[in-house]
Amino acid sequence: AGAARVQRVSNARPYPAEANIAALVTEQTPEAVAIEENGRRFSYRELNDTAARRAVWLRARGVGVGDRVALYMERSAELVTWL
């Protein structure tokens, strides 16, 4: 039963091959809880908005598509926004 449901869900809506899964989830369920940390809940929209601000910040400093950026952080919701 579980495999059949996955098949139905995965075939429910075609999406472009270059689509970002996080963007698709954010588009479909922006207020759903993506991460919970220390009692604080972060929605997909919040994570996406924060990640977008970080991308702008990196681009302003010369980081381009395909460039590697090292992160030295503990596992956290903040870390997720940098990935």
The reply to whether the predicted model has a pTM over 0.75 is: no
- Rounded distance between C-alpha atoms, residue 19 and residue 16, angstroms: 5
Query: Sign (positive/negative) of CA torsion 83, 35, 5, 29?
Result: negative
pLDDT tens digits, residue range 6-33? 445 555 666 666 777 777 788 888 899 9
In the prediction, which pLDDT does 10 show? 54
pLDDT tens digits, residue range 26-61? 888 889 999 999 999 999 999 989 989 999 999 999
Under the phi-then-psi rule, with left for phi > 0, alpha for psi from -120 to 50, and beta for the rest, what region is 50? alpha
In the prediction, which pLDDT does 74 show? 93
